[in-house]
């Protein structure tokens, strides 16, 4: 799930040649899962995990507590969180480089550039450092991280659109608001929404896919306001598959007084309160807590040398959950149960351990 993709992608570096990561000069304390001949200590207390999103975004905040819990529960040396890359791939590489120099030997990364991040993954792996792609997978068919643990973004968007169609009784007009058009996850989300609409055999019309409105809340608020001013009377439901448009649409619909059903993404307090009071039909929650918690455990197995990936680069769905008034108080239990299931999947099928 692959997630990421409601997430802000700032300045995206155009070519892998522009990457400035210099990890080849570093000597890591422990190894990752992929370099041949490297050996870890087998002691999880020697593992220092760095969780590195591409920049600041509310989606990633649960990673902080989840990482701390993983360190405590699994006896890891440390799990740190660093979001200072400012949505620039070169700056993210600099952050990673600094963390390597400070002894971190396992990385869970949300890459800024889905097209270039594989170069970063490769340099980490070649330096003997365990690396997983968390919350977003590289674009294309190749993932050079040991694994990708992310939302299946097309499936999550499909679920959101299905919920919106149910909310309007199976017929009407919907609009889809989403993230950056260049993000491969945005294209997957568009495909998921369009698939749900196609299944209605013409009963539902998709008026518009509105992209590039997740840069910040102000941008999303203007887009939502402009949409309702221009076409509000025609719209029966809005599906939002990016964070800021979800919050902005909830606010705009409430202010307009229009009878428009909203299915959002993620579980911002504004969205959850709207579900409780009936002003929002539902949302599709992802599982950032499970991503960081299970991801840190997997990285520790790899960095310690206790295990290696049975299939390097495997993509694993971290789960998505339709939240309505019926389960708004209990969906956290679903997220936790799914995270346990994913951890078991790694233990039983995806890791080969000594």
Mean pLDDT for the chain overall = 88
Confidence at residue 62, expressed as pLDDT on a 0 to 100 scale: 96
The answer to whether residue 12 scores a pLDDT higher than 60 is: no
Q: What is the per-residue DSSP string for 32-93?
A: -SSSTT----S-GGG-EEEEE-SS--GGGTHHHHHHHHHHHHHT-SEEEE--TTTTBHHHHH
- Tokens 């993210």 correspond to 92
Residue 27 pLDDT: 31
Q: What is the pLDDT of residues 141-185, one digit of tens each?
A: 899 999 999 999 999 999 999 999 999 999 999 999 999 887 778
pLDDT given at position 58: 85
pLDDT higher than 50, residue 38: no
pLDDT of residue 32: 35
Position 143 scores a pLDDT of 96
Q: Closest Cα to residue 160, out of 242, 241, 249?
A: 241
Looking at the chain, list the stretches that DSSP marks H as alpha helix, in order from N- to C-terminal side: 62-74, 89-101, 117-126, 153-167, 184-198, 217-231, 243-256, 269-277, 288-303, 331-345
Total-model pTM: 0.81
- Name the residue with higher pLDDT: 223 or 17: 223
H helix or E strand, kind and range, residue 351: strand 351-353
Task: Return d(Cα 189, Cα 211) in angstroms, integer.
Answer: 11
Q: How far is CA 27 from CA 22, 97, 101, 121, 259, in A?
A: 11, 11, 8, 16, 60
Is residue 261 scored above 50 in pLDDT? yes
Q: Phi and psi dihedrals of 160, rounded to 5?
A: -65, -45
- Distance, in Å, from the CA atom of 243 to the CA atom of 265, rounded to the nearest integer, reads 6
How much of the chain exceeds pLDDT 90, in percent? 78
What confidence tens digit (pLDDT) does each residue in 276-324 have?
999 899 999 999 999 999 999 999 999 999 999 999 999 999 999 999 9
Residue 246 has pLDDT above 80, yes or no: yes
Please determine, for residue 78, whether its predicted confidence score (pLDDT) is greater than 90: yes
Task: List the structure tokens of 205.
Answer: 């019309």
Q: What angle do CA 243, 14, 96 make, to 5 degrees?
A: 70
Q: Does position 24 have pLDDT exceeding 70, yes or no?
A: no
- pLDDT score at 269: 87
Domains identified in the chain and CATH numbers: 4-151+288-320+329-353 (3.40.50.2300), 153-285 (3.40.50.2300)
For 110-145, the pLDDT digits (tens) are 999 988 999 999 999 999 999 999 999 998 889 999
Is residue 339 scored above 90 in pLDDT?
yes
């Amino acid at each position: 799930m692959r997630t990421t993709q409601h997430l802000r992608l700032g300045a995206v570096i155009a070519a892998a040649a522009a990457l400035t990561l210099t990890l080849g000069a570093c000597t890591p304390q422990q190894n990752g899962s992929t370099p041949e001949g490297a050996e870890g200590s087998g002691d999880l207390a020697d593992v220092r995990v760095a969780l590195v999103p591409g920049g600041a975004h509310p989606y990633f905040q649960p990673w902080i507590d989840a990482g701390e819990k993983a360190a405590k529960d699994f006896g890891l040396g440390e799990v740190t969180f660093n979001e200072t890359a400012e949505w620039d791939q070169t700056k993210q590489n600099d952050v990673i480089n600094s963390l390597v120099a400070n002894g971190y030997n396992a990385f869970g990364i949300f890459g800024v550039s889905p097209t270039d991040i594989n170069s970063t993954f490769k340099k980490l792996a070649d330096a003997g450092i365990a690396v997983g792609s968390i919350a977003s997978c590289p674009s294309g068919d190749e993932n050079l991280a040991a694994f990708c643990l992310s939302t299946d973004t097309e499936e999550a968007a499909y679920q959101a659109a299905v919920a919106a169609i149910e909310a309007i009784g199976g017929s009407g007009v919907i609009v889809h608001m989403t993230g950056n058009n260049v993000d491969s996850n945005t294209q997957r989300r568009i495909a998921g929404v369009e698939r749900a609409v196609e299944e209605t055999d013409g009963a539902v019309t998709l008026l518009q896919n509105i992209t590039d409105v997740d840069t910040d809340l102000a941008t999303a608020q203007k887009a939502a306001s402009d949409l309702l001013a221009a076409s509000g009377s025609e719209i029966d439901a809005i599906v939002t598959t990016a964070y800021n448009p979800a919050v902005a649409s909830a606010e705009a619909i409430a202010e307009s007084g229009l009878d428009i059903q909203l299915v959002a993404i993620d579980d911002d307090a504004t969205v959850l309160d709207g579900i409780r009071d009936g002003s929002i039909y539902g949302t599709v929650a992802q599982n950032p807590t499970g991503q960081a918690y299970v991801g840190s455990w997997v990285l520790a197995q790899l960095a310690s040398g206790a295990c290696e990936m049975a299939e390097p680069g495997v993509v694993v769905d971290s789960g998505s959950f339709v939240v309505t008034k019926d389960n708004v108080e209990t969906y956290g239990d679903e997220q936790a149960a799914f995270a346990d299931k994913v951890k078991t999947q790694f233990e039983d099928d995806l890791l080969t351990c000594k």
